[in-house]
Every structure is written in structure tokens, then in C-alpha cells.
Structure 1
Amino acid sequence: MNEELIYHFVGIKGSGMSALALILHDKGFKVQGSDIEKYFFTQKNIEEAHIPIMTFNKENIKKGQIIIAGNAFPDTHEEIVAAKELGLEVIRYHKFLSALINNYTSIAITGSHGKTSTTGLLAHVMGNIEDTSYLIGDGTGHGVPDADFFVLEACEYRRHFLAYNPDYAIITNIDFDHPDYFTSIEDVFDAFQTMAHQVKKAIVACGDDEQLQQLQANVPVLYYGFEDNNDFQAKNLMRSTTGSEFDVYMRDEFFGRFEIPTFGKHNVLNALSVIAICQYENIDIEKVKENLMTFKGVKRRFTEKKMEDMTIIDDYAHHPSEIRATVDAARQKYPDKEIIAVFQPHTFTRTVALLSEFAEALNLADSVYLCDIFGSAREEQGSVKIDDLAAKIKGGAPVLSEDNVSPLLDHHDAVVIFMGAGDVQKFEKAYETILSQTSLSNQ
């Protein structure tokens, strides 16, 4: 890599793209990028690093640049066309990242759910013990010049993760999602099975997952979970309002007692996978224990704030399994409070494919409110409507609009969770505004 060159990112606000831009910047390269004008939460870190962000324009493309193109943008995009006319090298995001990780001991974290939280946890733990570069799906990236390890989130959507040949893979679960691309759970499994054959040293997989038990690989598969027969098993779990404590048994022998400040059984599983990979790489387990205790979480995963007498949680949950995990975590931390779910379905294809499962997961909350389905640019509006989901919620589920979230004011001293992968934050902002105004008028 020539340090005189400028790396220009087409679509720099994408979560993976922004993280990769930060990594190259940290490693001393000149970086810039372009995107649409709309604000995305990923751009905060880019701006803080003083990486220039421009609006899409073919005039941004000049000689002396290497173009890294986001997967959302076709070859007909004006900047990509301009780059090819100038004879510049254009590399797709995944191909660039694939070449980059070959210089390190690489650990790819994948799975239908829990990728971002597990990647963030592993990056935090390993990064505080060994020199580690990392790329997390919440737009966070960090490049250490002489790092030994590279931790990256690897997404299964459109089989993108098949671009990588990592040394290790952590696989959290296999579930049916992205129905706009995958045809069935068998199709999803096939993608993960293909990926497993590309791993070079070992796979760490959740043994409590029925699909992962069927995985075939050419390298050792270490299983973790709560159930017997896992290589790394969590026992004697104690869940409290400050976090979770558990014993870890390695192949039926006591390995140690661990504590995490996060909530929900899924976070215990995430911690187990990190313990397993660190043990496999002979990383000091006492240091692992210490750093598990200081993990603050990743963006848009159970992100909390307090306003008036309400606890407001922002979470990316957009699949029934993720909704279940988030409600479970809220119940653990706030066992005596009403749990209110405000959910915005993400994509028509996912909503219609998992309609009954969404209703079952949401019914675990005490009260449910819905927001209109957030359609994707890659799909047409289907026949499913938000009212179809509302009809399956016990006791009904009012549909909120951005300019009328006042039904939420009926709840006091409670926990309200805004969930979704679209723009559910605008409903959260509207609620925070009306909540503060109501408080002022009552003074």
C-alpha cells in the first residue's frame, strides 16, 4: 500500500465502510469519502477523525486515488464510472478487507444474530491485552499499525462473508432472516457451511443452536453454550440487576467464575465465545476476566438513557429472536418495571415471512406499540401492512406516527424500548421531545 495515494470511499457512511476508513486512517493512510447528504450515526467517528466527507459527485474522483466502493452502489454509479474512465483501481469493500486481514491472525464473527455485540466484546477484550485492529458493524473501526490480531464482523447477507478466509470464525447462531435473499433456513445453512470450509485454524460455534450442531468443517469446531456436551459450558448462572455471573467448565472441568455487566442470556453466550477464542490463543485468562467486566456495549444495542421517570432503550433488534433477547435483558435489569416495546418492522419481506414470530416475541412485553413498516430500497412494497401485525398482538397494538407519539405518555416509571433497523430513532426523538415538554408544563 502506497502512503502517497488517497483512499476514496464511495459510500463512506456505510457501517462497514466507515469502520474500514477509520482503520486505514489510524494506520497512517490518507482517506476521504463521499455519500448522500442525510446524516447517519456512523459519520460521527469519521468527522471526529477529520476524514473529509463529500457529497456524491464525479468531480470528487481524481488521479492518485484508490477507490473503495461500497456494495450498495452499482458499477454505473457516477463516481465509479469516473474512476474507471481515469484508469483508477476500483476495489469492492469485501475484496479489499479480505486482502487486508491476510496480514494478521484474523477472527471473523458471524451468525444471524449477535454479530455486532460479540465483535465489540472481543475487540474490547483482546484490544486491551494484545495489539488488535478491529472492524465492528456499528461503524466503529480501529487500526493498530503493528497489530497481531484483526477482529472483524462478517455479514452473511448475499453471502458477502464468502469473500473472507479467516484464521478463526465465531458463529453465534443460524436463523432464517433476509428473506429477500435467502429462500429457506436450508439456504442460510448452506451459506454458513460454505463459509466454515474457508476457515483456516478453528471455529468457535454455539452448540445450543440446532443448525450449528450439523456444521461440517476441515478444522476443529469448539462448541460453547449452556447445555451439556459443549466444550465451553456456562453453569450456575446468577442474573441480577447489575449483570450476570457464571461458572465456565472447559470439557467438564471447572475453568473459572466470570462476571459481565451486561444483561440477557445472549450476552452470557457472547462472553463464552470470547473466553473460548482467547483460551485457544493462550491469552491471559485473568486479563480476559478483568476486561469482560469493563465492556460498555456497542452502538444501538441496549443503549439506555433516563428521562423524567422513564428509562428509554434504543436497540437494533429487527428479528423475533433479537426482540426476545432484548426484552429478556430488560426484564433482568428492571424486574419490577413495566416493559413497553415500540417496534418498527424492517422490510416488507421480513415482516410477511415472520409475522407470527414477530407477534409472539412482542407479546413478551407488557405493552406494545408499532410504527409503520420501514421498506428497503431493494424491495417493492408487499401486500403486508402494519395492521396485520397489530391484529396478532394480545390486547392490540396502537400504531404511532412521528407527529403523534402521545399514547406513550400514559406510561409512568416504566421502561420503553425502541426497536428496529430502519429509522425508529425519529419516534424516540419525538417521544423525548414531548416527554420533556410535558414535564416543563407540569412544573
Structure 2
Amino acid sequence: MYQLDFDKPIHVYFSGIGGISMSGLAQILRSRGFEVSGSDRAASSITDELAADGIKVIIGQKKENITPDIDLVVFTAAIRPDNPEYIAVMENKIPHITRSVLLGQIMRGYKDPVAISGTHGKTTTTSMISEIMMAAGTDPTLSIGGILDSIGGNVRIGNSEYFAAEACEYTNSFLDMFPGIGIILDIDADHLDFFKDLDDIRRSFRKFAQLIPADGALIINTQIPDYEEISGGLDCRVILYGPDDSADYWPEDIT
């Protein structure tokens, strides 16, 4: 697997740069001195903003977009093997990685990375955590799967060791991450075009929990049925939250 050297910026091309996560990662790399360009099938407010920031964005995906000066291509999960850019990358043997691998490599460079997972509620929770981290003065880098008004977009470039990002389970992309703190909000039957069934999804969340190092922490919702199957036997600290005092943290005096 290709490993980026963040001390040696190169030309990175994002195939599907208009995606909410892809656009944020493109901005993070650009802030670190990388040459960034990319394409998408259609123009959008996101591609317009990227272009306004000086990133070369091509509307329409074709083989001619993949030029010899490109050192690495990042593919979103939406890019299929019959995509002309994908075909050109394979034919020319250009190094390539997926969006989730890039996110994981970026996350690995921070001392305090937080990965927010769950089949529902990731964007809302990541936004709430982002607001808390900023209010606490931690100056975090943020990668959010939606637009957060307080940062004027979906990404914030900070100057600290704090990083927070959504960790999506689809295609097991969250298994490419390196969470110091991992959060599991809920586990439901979703993305059944990829997962076989709910048990298959639960196995993936267990693997995600096992990524957390011994000096890290898993924060998990006690309302997940048999949550102990996900959190049991981990080397890291496990923090429970739920609706009552059977958890470590619970709400009170809600009006």
C-alpha cells in the first residue's frame, strides 16, 4: 500500500473531489503544501469553492484527465472499475489509494485522533464534538461529513495534535483508521448492499474497536444490543454512555 510522506509533498489527484469527505481531505493536503487537483462528474457548490480556493477541478471524468505529472490518485468509494479515470490509472500503473486509506494516514499523524462511528448520527455527533473541542481551545483539525456553519464548511485546519473525523463503516472504510479515541453511537442493519446482515456489521464494529490502542479509549452506547460483544476484552479503556445510571455517563434533568 502506498504510504504518503507528509514531509515530501507531491501531486495528488482526487477522483471524485466533490464528495463531502474527499473535498475536505484535498484541502488538508493542500494546507500541507501538496499540489492538489481532481475531478467530479458534475459541478456543485463544493467544486466551486475548491476552484475558488485555487484547486484545479475538472468537471467530467475521462482518461485524458490522468496526466503524467500526477504522482498519486485518491479514489472515492463511488468510483467503479469501469470509470475511465480508474482504467487510465491502472493502465499507467499510477500509485493509488482509497479515500479511507488517506484519511487513516492523515489521522495517524496526530497524537490525539478521535474517530466517530455508528450507522446513524455520525455527522451530528462529529459536529457537536467539533464545537466542544473548539470551545475548549484545542485548535483541532476537523473532517466532517456535512457543513458546519461555525467553520464555514466541512473541514477545519488546526495547529495542534487534536483531530476529529467521521469513521464510516461502509465498505469497512473505518478499518483503515487509527483512532486514539473511538466512538460507537449505534449499530443497525444498514448498507446491506455491502454487508451480509446485521451480524456481519457487528463483526466490523468489533474490528474497529480493536484498532484502539491500549492507552486509548472506546466510548460506546449501552443501548446497542449486547454491546459487550463489541467492547469486551479490549486492551483500551471502555467508557459507557446510556439512558440511565447503569452507564458511566447518562443524562439527567432533561426538559
Do these two structures clear the TM 0.5 threshold for a shared fold by scoring above it?
Answer: yes
Could you tell me whether the CA contact under 8 Å between 1:189 and 1:211 is conserved in 2? no
Distance 1:94 1:184 in 2: 22
* 1:49 CA drift (Å): 2.5
Alignment of 1:185-204 (within 5 A): 185-200=198-213, 201-204=216-219
TM-fit CA distance, 1:151: 0.7
Superposed, which structure 2 residues align to 1:254-403 within 5 Å?
none
Instruction: Say if 1:231 and 1:44 are closer, same or farther in 2 by CA, change over 3 A.
Output: farther
Match of residue 142, structure 1, among 156, 162, 179: 156
Q: Is 1:96–2:102 an aligned residue pair?
A: yes
2:117 to 90, 106, 110: 110
Match of 1:131 among 139, 143, 163: 139
**1:8–1:32 CA contact under 8 A, matched in 2:** yes
Structure 1 stretches (4+) deviating beyond 6 angstroms?
none
Structure 1 residue 209 corresponds to structure 2 residue 224: yes
Note if 1:14 corresponds to 2:41: no
Once residues 122 and 214 of structure 1 are traced to their aligned partners in structure 2, the CA distance between those partners, rounded to angstroms, is: 26
Q: How many residues align?
A: 236
Query: Which residue in 2 is equivalent to 1:82?
Result: 88
Displacement of 1:11 in angstroms is 0.7
- SS across alignment from 1:232: coil
Distance 2:177 2:243 in 1: 29
Distance between the aligned counterparts of 1:183 and 1:234, measured in 2? 35
Tell me the distance in 1 between the aligned counterparts of 2:119 and 2:81.
28
Alpha-carbon distance change, 17 to 211 in structure 1, aligned in 2, over 3 angstroms:
farther
Cα deviation for residue 203 of structure 1 reads 0.5
Specify the alignment match of 1:152 in structure 2. 165
**Alpha-carbon distance in 2 for matches of 1:137, 1:178:** 17
Quote the Cα distance in structure 1 between the aligned partners of 2:225 and 2:244. Answer: 12
Larger relative CO (CA 8 A, sep 6+): 1 or 2? 2
Tell me the residue number matched to 2:189: 176
Match of 1:422 in 2: none
Distance in structure 1 (CA, Å) of the matches to 2:254 and 2:90: 57
Residue 253 of structure 2 aligns with which residue? 236
Q: Which runs of 5+ in 1 are unaligned?
A: 239-443
Identical amino acids, percent of aligned pairs:
28
How big is the alpha-carbon RMSD for the aligned residues of Structure 1 and Structure 2? 2.2
| TM superposition shift of 1:70 | 1.3
TM-score in terms of structure 1 length: 0.50
CA-CA distance at 1:35 after TM superposition = 1.0
Compute the TM-score of the two structures, normalised by the length of structure 2: 0.83
Q: Tell me, which stretches of 5 or more residues in structure 2 are unaligned?
A: 1-5, 148-153
- Name the structure 1 match of 2:235: 218
Instruction: Identify which range, 69-78 or 192-201, moves more after superposition.
Output: 69-78
User: 1:22-68 CA deviation, whole Å, 9 max, x = no partner?
Assistant: 2222333221110112x445435424423221021222222332211
Q: Measure, in 1, the Cα distance between the counterparts of 2:138 and 2:65.
A: 38
* The structure with more radius of gyration: 1
Q: Does structure 2 conserve the Cα–Cα contact (< 8 Å) formed by 1:127 and 1:133? A: no
The one-letter code matched in structure 2 to 1:102 is R
Describe the shift of the 1:182–1:85 C-alpha distance in structure 2 as closer, same or farther (beyond 3 A).
Answer: closer
* 1:88 CA displacement: 2.8
Counterpart amino acid of 2:205? F
